[in-house]
Amino acid sequence: MLLIVWIVVPVLALLVLGVLAYGVFGAAGRLDGELRALERDVRPVLAEVQASAEKAAAQRAERSETDD
């Protein structure tokens, strides 16, 4: 009887660890997909912000040249 317990307990522990690992790796995969989608959504906005910043810097430089 004790031999059965010594066999069943590690098997159940491995089963629980396997289920936990499956859940963690599945969540990591879903998170990776969400982050890629977010990056895809934000990329055009980032390009617009960078273009606006460059335009503002050019206007600032032009204004400082005319003030001198």
- The pLDDT value recorded for residue 66 is 80
* For residue 14, pLDDT beyond 70: yes
| Domain boundaries, position 44 | 36-68
Which pLDDT belongs to residue 37?
97
Tell whether 49 is covered by a domain: yes
Is residue 26 in a domain? Answer: no
Q: Is residue 18 part of a domain?
A: no
Count how many domains the chain has: 1
CA 8-14-17 angle, 5° bins? 140
Residue 3 in domain: no
pLDDT digits (tens, 9 = 90+) for 17-68: 999 999 999 999 999 999 999 999 999 999 999 999 999 999 998 888 887 6
In a domain, 28, yes or no: no
Residue 27 lies in a domain: no
Output the DSSP codes for 44-62. Answer: HHHHHHHHHHHHHHHHHHH
Its pTM stands at: 0.60
Q: Is residue 6 part of a domain?
A: no
pLDDT at 68: 61
Q: Domain for residue 24, yes or no?
A: no
